[in-house]
Structure 1
């Protein structure tokens, strides 16, 4: 008896990833199942059966299961924080966000990251090759897939995190930049209080989107991001998809090489991919 598509989906769920199967995943598993050899299908079936036994055992060992579930991925990606702020913005402020090319981010609706699922996806991702391996199939990832999933675009101008310090001196004062960088809470407060037409509002939102969703690293964002955000008229012309995808791939590479204890970058991309 071969392992069905639903068996493959259950295989992911049985690892306690709290997987909510998307339409894309269902299509992928159906296609993958058709292409698998009989031996490969039989192997999946046995694995499903083994995991089923393990789950039955763990049901009788609740404390062990809870302890095992604590081994989830550490990340600074916070789509719940991003969506919470965006959901309370006025329509006028949302229109201002669309003007700078980030309107697609307003459509994101999600709760917290499924960290165990993300950990498994990170394990399957090979940043040097830009592929993610699922059921023996290698799926190619790049800035184009990032753009398709997250909605941010490449406008044609490369992003440079650098430039004359005097160019961003005023912004560093406005955003109260310290040696740690710019506090995300400061950005939240400015976004809530600033006028919708203000260029400060647009810069603050861009930084907030980067710090919580697209290129997160910590509770602060480096003042170096002020350089590409300084000219709000050209923000939509920058290569955000390429930059954010490379940031994620590099962050996963550092994590897998044990250079960091957490994963920076937009893990939401992998989760909804």
Structure 2
């Protein structure tokens, strides 16, 4: 019995000892938790401050996140994933944009408002192809590159050091389908005044010629609903401002006014030479400062480039006139394709499209040969007529002699 009681007492003592150890551990763990809470409190305070600063910074940067132009593009999605994963995407070249005053958007909208009489008048002066014009904007980065590669000394587009494409007057007709004449247009000087010009100014009710804007010209063009002479003049002035030349301050000056006195002669003017003259002159002045506004025929250069330089599997067809195959959307898509490759001019040069028969000129040798043949034919006819006359005279003489002999 004594031994059993001793055992129970030993077990009780052991249990109390274990309980004491657990209490010590609990006290230790509670002190540890308390110290951790202190540390956590400090860190959470810092974290709250950091979160608040980050949220303030994100608010400041709200609306400035980089948005890619075309999320459907695989390369764009790849760049987005790379930036999210912390991988820096490959830096692309910085392509400058061309500043220009020439705009086709207003002209494009007003073409859709022409009535049947006005459309017939446009065809009458030889600009009927322009009625299908549908390019409402020009991609500025491509336009800068093409203009920068245009050599105004020899009128060539220098794709690279080895590839140069000649630009000729016929290319103007290929792009726009303008009437092709031979008479050179003399520019109407900025200070020049004549009766016709004063009458044109009276439409706008201004004394200062620098106050006339393209929108006012287009409105007066639409108002001439009969498609008469003044409609034709307004149309040609608006067309030249939109597709050939413009003042850097955005006002309309009719440099072409000397060609508008007799509207029946519009087809006889050399519109290809006229456009190239402005292209060369404006490029020469733009080279002095490439950050300033360019007032020359930007769209012509861009359309010439996208037609002659083909990249990859080009789906845009080639036909006359060239502008009917392109619009603002397809030109922008072409620019994006080349920007994905990070450079322009990477395609192959195609031969020029065939001009219609009415635009073709005979070779000098052929024309001289035809002229010579015509002269020979005329001389031969004259010779035959002369010979027949002489034969007739001889017959008359012989008949007269025979009559006299019979009488004798």
1:128 aligns with 2:132: no
In the other structure, the counterpart of 1:199 is 229
Give distance in 2, aligned partners of 1:157 and 1:176.
Answer: 33
State the TM-score, normalizing by the size of structure 1: 0.70
Asked whether the equivalents of residues 168 and 227 of structure 1 are also in contact (C-alpha less than 8 Å), the reply is no
Give distance in 1, aligned partners of 2:118 and 2:176.
Answer: 20
Give distance in 1, aligned partners of 2:205 and 2:151.
Answer: 38
Asked whether the equivalents of residues 181 and 268 of structure 2 are also in contact (C-alpha less than 8 Å), the reply is yes
Structure 2 residue corresponding to 1:138, chosen from 164, 179, 182: 164
Asked whether the equivalents of residues 138 and 299 of structure 2 are also in contact (C-alpha less than 8 Å), the reply is yes
The Cα of 1:125 is off from its aligned counterpart by 0.8
In the other structure, the counterpart of 2:297 is 266
Structure 2 residue corresponding to 1:180, chosen from 195, 210, 221: 210
Question: 1:59-78 to 2 correspondence within 5 Å?
Answer: 60=83, 71-78=96-103
Aligned residue for 1:180, secondary structure, equals: helix
Asked whether the equivalents of residues 171 and 226 of structure 1 are also in contact (C-alpha less than 8 Å), the reply is no
Structure 2 residue corresponding to 1:235, chosen from 263, 266, 275: 266
What CA deviation, in whole Å up to 9, does each residue of 1:137-175 have, x standing for no partner?
100012221121121133121112247623432222224
Change (3 A) 1:156 1:195: same
Question: 1:57-136 to 2 correspondence within 5 Å?
Answer: 60=83, 71-135=96-160, 136=162
In the other structure, the counterpart of 1:32 is none
Give distance in 2, aligned partners of 1:202 and 1:227.
Answer: 14
Backbone CA RMSD of aligned residues: 3.2
Change (3 A) 1:228 1:268: same
Give distance in 2, aligned partners of 1:79 and 1:133.
Answer: 26
The Cα of 1:259 is off from its aligned counterpart by 8.3
Asked whether the equivalents of residues 82 and 213 of structure 1 are also in contact (C-alpha less than 8 Å), the reply is no
Change (3 A) 1:224 1:111: closer
The Cα of 1:96 is off from its aligned counterpart by 0.9
Provide structure 2 residue ranges, at least 5 long, that are not aligned to the other structure: 1-67, 305-408
Give distance in 2, aligned partners of 1:203 and 1:233.
Answer: 11
Asked whether the equivalents of residues 99 and 291 of structure 2 are also in contact (C-alpha less than 8 Å), the reply is no
In the other structure, the counterpart of 1:226 is 257
The Cα of 1:115 is off from its aligned counterpart by 0.8
Change (3 A) 1:77 1:259: same
The Cα of 1:230 is off from its aligned counterpart by 2.6
In the other structure, the counterpart of 1:36 is none
State the TM-score, normalizing by the size of structure 2: 0.48
1:168 aligns with 2:197: yes
Give distance in 2, aligned partners of 1:228 and 1:181.
Answer: 22
Give distance in 1, aligned partners of 2:267 and 2:258.
Answer: 14
The Cα of 1:183 is off from its aligned counterpart by 2.0
Asked whether the equivalents of residues 79 and 111 of structure 1 are also in contact (C-alpha less than 8 Å), the reply is yes
Q: Which moved more, 1:148-157 or 1:223-232?
A: 223-232
Give distance in 2, aligned partners of 1:153 and 1:181.
Answer: 31
Q: Between the two structures, name the one with larger relative contact order (CA 8 Å, sep ≥ 6).
A: 1
In the other structure, the counterpart of 2:283 is 252
User: Aligned pairs, how many?
Assistant: 220
Q: Which moved more, 1:99-108 or 1:219-228?
A: 219-228
Provide structure 1 residue ranges, at least 5 long, that are not aligned to the other structure: 1-15, 19-51
Aligned residue for 1:197, secondary structure, equals: coil
Give distance in 2, aligned partners of 1:118 and 1:251.
Answer: 14
Q: Which moved more, 1:113-122 or 1:233-242?
A: 233-242
Question: 1:8-87 to 2 correspondence within 5 Å?
Answer: 60=83, 71-87=96-112
Asked whether the equivalents of residues 172 and 223 of structure 1 are also in contact (C-alpha less than 8 Å), the reply is no
Asked whether the equivalents of residues 215 and 247 of structure 1 are also in contact (C-alpha less than 8 Å), the reply is yes
